[in-house]
Structure 1
């Protein structure tokens, strides 16, 4: 595997690029996944309702989605490193704001708005777009899978770690420690510098506008975007409400935190497997299988007894399917359109993901506040999984044939 952009930086080897990408995604995805652990302690301390906290997380997810295409376009135009530095700083400010304001407004402004923008600036489209530019096509699927696994590693480590922090430092101190960790994103940015057009080996549209127009007319891209909505709904609902759901089943908060940590651990395996299998089999078929398997796993969990063993089995199974969709979805985008404007095109797909995430996080809170139960949203998740499995089969994932064209910017 070789660096394929125009950079001559000897230290930016493929291993360094993948490791730094993994650290960024580990911190970005891991920290935001801890928000569900703060619902109960902040509810008891400052009186914010489950519904209001869920709305803040939902706004975070929606803003993440809305800002991602903009951040991705800026990354393609001005470079990935600049976006990651700004995102890391904004992440720390958002978490500190949430802690120091210490009220409902702080949760919505710091945790919802600022963190939502920060997650967008440091998200999968920017990081995986950089990895795609810096790796050759024949090894790209594996590189994307390895980098994506970093997001899972962060979840596995940071969830139980944060639960321990809340127990020892309470929610205020825990938020400040997470803010300090977010700053580690900043030095990782140097390894991922670059922008669209720095990779000259592949042909593509001559401008960002042309790339977006081309993708918008592609039926496979449309179906992929719709399907990724389901992924966002599943992930946000489970990440935000699984700990609270387990409390209603008379299980402890530590079991909820450990369950999310196990999801993260097994998603490391799932992400790596997705990268390897995506290099051997059609990615769209693997995506169909993942979504159908999610529907089956959720249904079995809801219908079965709620014991610790059942929670561990669900966490392990769902973890294998958690973010394994990300390298495969990004890989389909890259396979069809090439890597030049992958950050922006994947960013637009990510917008759909985050609209789903908004609804998953918000509807979970609404369901609990109005009905005292999360079960209706669990069953919605089952139906959406089946739907997503069906719409991925007809996706046309063959590379578009184009004539060479120079990159001219926006």
Structure 2
């Protein structure tokens, strides 16, 4: 019986690990934080153009879907040509799409700029590419913690960019505010410099192509289960972000309560991601994910069954924030554990595509269900059922290197 291969050691680098981590966290904060505040522009953009809310909503949904579809491609390019180059191109596309949305006079242009171009820019500049660079910069024993830092930085950006966007819109107008966001996206370019380089091959798979690595991963049961499980995370995150503020208003609470809820999710997610990074170093990442999804289902059930009030919303938001993107350090850590860092960008990109399909359905089904029933109740219960499904799916996943066919042949 052959033994599993050991993941490749981090590649040589020109910059200290601390600088690589700091720069990567800066990129995650910019790309995810900026995107989280796009909803603030909806009413002003709709009022200034001949197209309506449905155009903005479809563009935003397309952005999610394109981001997910492009992620395995940009991840593969980062594995082959280096993360710095891909991140720089991503920053440029992100900025062009954001600035182009200011001048999108038709629905088609809005979909192309805000949907397609920003979606591809996000795929090339978000935490998924950053995590690929982190997997090279640190050894296996610190990877989950590093992934937690990067995800926490994205959550901090979510918490910070909401107030920044609101202030810019109030003082400078939505057009200048969106152009300022385009300028922020360009800051990804200098931040990308310390993340240069690409993964060196594992000696056991030195001749393995990207296509062979993908085929191997899709034939490995634990990886396939991980893909299915991350779909649920995307569904939860998207439906809560998109529909919880409206759900709260429908039940008689003010708009400010909904805004506070989203901010609290972002703030407490910083704590949750850092905690996940630490826990993933010491405990099984697959079992941790099972517990996390189970807790989500319990929390959603308690929230729906409890009489709605500002206190219940704030409590739910803080607790859900702890469980929000804390899935990412565990999930990305499992991919790195299974296959090492060489094709990390592409393989985690495939898992993330599943997340984005879940995100698309979470937003879309919420609208469909509300239109049919006049209530979001069914959507919440679907979220509970999916959480239980994910808790079961993650239990059999092996938190260990995958048996490598090339190593066995050798």
* TM-score (normalised: structure 1): 0.90
Instruction: Evaluate the alpha carbon distance shift between residue 104 and residue 375 of structure 1 in structure 2; reply closer, same or farther with a 3 A threshold.
Output: farther
The one-character-per-residue Cα deviations of 1:100-119 (angstroms, maximum 9, x if unpaired) are 22554443222211111111
Alignment partner, residue 279 of structure 1: 281
Equivalent pair of 1:30/1:154 in contact (CA under 8 Å):
yes
Work out whether 1:26 is the aligned partner of 2:29.
yes
Equivalent pair of 1:247/1:253 in contact (CA under 8 Å):
yes
Work out whether 1:330 is the aligned partner of 2:332.
yes
Work out whether 1:55 is the aligned partner of 2:32.
no
Equivalent pair of 1:23/1:188 in contact (CA under 8 Å):
yes
Work out whether 1:96 is the aligned partner of 2:93.
no
Alignment partner, residue 173 of structure 1: 176
Alignment partner, residue 318 of structure 2: 316
Within the candidate set 101, 109, 112, 1:109 is matched to 112
Q: Which is worse superposed, 379-388 or 360-369?
A: 360-369
Q: Any idea what SS the aligned residue of 2:375 has?
A: coil
Instruction: Evaluate the alpha carbon distance shift between residue 297 and residue 161 of structure 1 in structure 2; reply closer, same or farther with a 3 A threshold.
Output: farther
Alignment partner, residue 193 of structure 1: 196
Q: For residues 66-215 of structure 1, what are the structure 2 equivalents within 5 Å?
A: 66-101=69-104, 104-197=107-200, 206-215=208-217
| Alpha-carbon shift at residue 218 of structure 1 (Å) | 0.4
The one-character-per-residue Cα deviations of 1:207-247 (angstroms, maximum 9, x if unpaired) are 21221111111000000000000111111222223333333
* Counterpart-to-counterpart distance in 2, 1:323 and 1:273: 11
Alignment partner, residue 11 of structure 2: 5
* Counterpart-to-counterpart distance in 2, 1:216 and 1:311: 40
Q: Any idea what SS the aligned residue of 1:279 has?
A: helix
* Counterpart-to-counterpart distance in 2, 1:95 and 1:252: 30
Q: Which is worse superposed, 23-32 or 159-168?
A: 159-168
Instruction: Evaluate the alpha carbon distance shift between residue 263 and residue 190 of structure 1 in structure 2; reply closer, same or farther with a 3 A threshold.
Output: same
Equivalent pair of 1:204/1:340 in contact (CA under 8 Å):
no
Q: How many residues are treated as equivalent by the alignment?
A: 399
Alignment partner, residue 270 of structure 2: 268
Q: Any idea what SS the aligned residue of 1:101 has?
A: coil
Alignment partner, residue 408 of structure 1: none
* Counterpart-to-counterpart distance in 1, 2:316 and 2:97: 32
Q: For residues 223-262 of structure 1, what are the structure 2 equivalents within 5 Å?
A: 223-262=225-264
Equivalent pair of 1:288/1:392 in contact (CA under 8 Å):
yes
| Alpha-carbon shift at residue 62 of structure 1 (Å) | 0.9
* Counterpart-to-counterpart distance in 2, 1:240 and 1:103: 24
Alignment partner, residue 5 of structure 2: none
Equivalent pair of 1:88/1:118 in contact (CA under 8 Å):
yes
* Counterpart-to-counterpart distance in 2, 1:134 and 1:40: 43
The one-character-per-residue Cα deviations of 1:116-155 (angstroms, maximum 9, x if unpaired) are 1111111233110110011011211111111221111100
| Alpha-carbon shift at residue 404 of structure 1 (Å) | 7.9
Q: Any idea what SS the aligned residue of 1:398 has?
A: coil
Instruction: Evaluate the alpha carbon distance shift between residue 403 and residue 391 of structure 1 in structure 2; reply closer, same or farther with a 3 A threshold.
Output: closer
Instruction: Evaluate the alpha carbon distance shift between residue 122 and residue 47 of structure 1 in structure 2; reply closer, same or farther with a 3 A threshold.
Output: same
Within the candidate set 285, 291, 301, 1:289 is matched to 291
Equivalent pair of 1:290/1:321 in contact (CA under 8 Å):
yes
* Counterpart-to-counterpart distance in 1, 2:130 and 2:280: 18
Q: For residues 30-41 of structure 1, what are the structure 2 equivalents within 5 Å?
A: 30-41=33-44
| Alpha-carbon shift at residue 37 of structure 1 (Å) | 3.0
Q: For residues 355-394 of structure 1, what are the structure 2 equivalents within 5 Å?
A: 355-394=357-396
Superposition CA RMSD, Å: 2.2
* Counterpart-to-counterpart distance in 2, 1:242 and 1:127: 29
Q: Which is worse superposed, 60-69 or 249-258?
A: 249-258
| Alpha-carbon shift at residue 15 of structure 1 (Å) | 1.3
| Alpha-carbon shift at residue 400 of structure 1 (Å) | 2.5
Instruction: Evaluate the alpha carbon distance shift between residue 375 and residue 52 of structure 1 in structure 2; reply closer, same or farther with a 3 A threshold.
Output: farther
Equivalent pair of 1:21/1:192 in contact (CA under 8 Å):
yes
The one-character-per-residue Cα deviations of 1:231-269 (angstroms, maximum 9, x if unpaired) are 111112222233333333343444333321211111110
* Counterpart-to-counterpart distance in 2, 1:57 and 1:403: 41
Equivalent pair of 1:91/1:114 in contact (CA under 8 Å):
yes
Q: Any idea what SS the aligned residue of 1:189 has?
A: helix
| Alpha-carbon shift at residue 183 of structure 1 (Å) | 1.3
